[in-house]
Amino acid sequence: MTALEKATGDVVFKFEPFVLHVLCRELQDAQLLHSVAVDSGFRNSGITVGRGGKITMAVRSTHCLEVPLSHKGRLMVSEEYIEFLVHVANQKMEENI
């Protein structure tokens, strides 16, 4: 809260979702891993094939959170709401684990 009170610009509370990149030897391996990831709830997962043929499978969760807290140095939310956001972010971290 002390840092927020001293902020002069915009402040955003941000929680980044889990991401795991796996380099796969064969496209079939990436497809299998993709199916497992999506079936496990990682709906933002995907496969990328690079120009050199490098196959990368990205396992991504949807557990993100991005909330503005202040604008031009003016706090837009209460301390109680910030505590709530921290609680929600900690729950999302537990889901990632």
How is the beta sheet containing 19-24 ordered, strand by strand?
A: 19-24, 55-60, 46-49
Q: One digit per residue, pLDDT tens: the chain, 97 residues?
A: 888 888 899 999 999 888 999 999 999 999 999 999 999 888 899 999 999 999 999 999 888 899 999 999 999 999 999 999 999 999 988 887 7
45 pairs with which residues across the strands?
Answer: none
30-37: list long-range contacts, CB under 8 Å, 24+ apart.
30/55, 30/56, 30/57, 33/57, 33/59
**Spans of all domains in the chain:** 1-16+63-96, 18-61
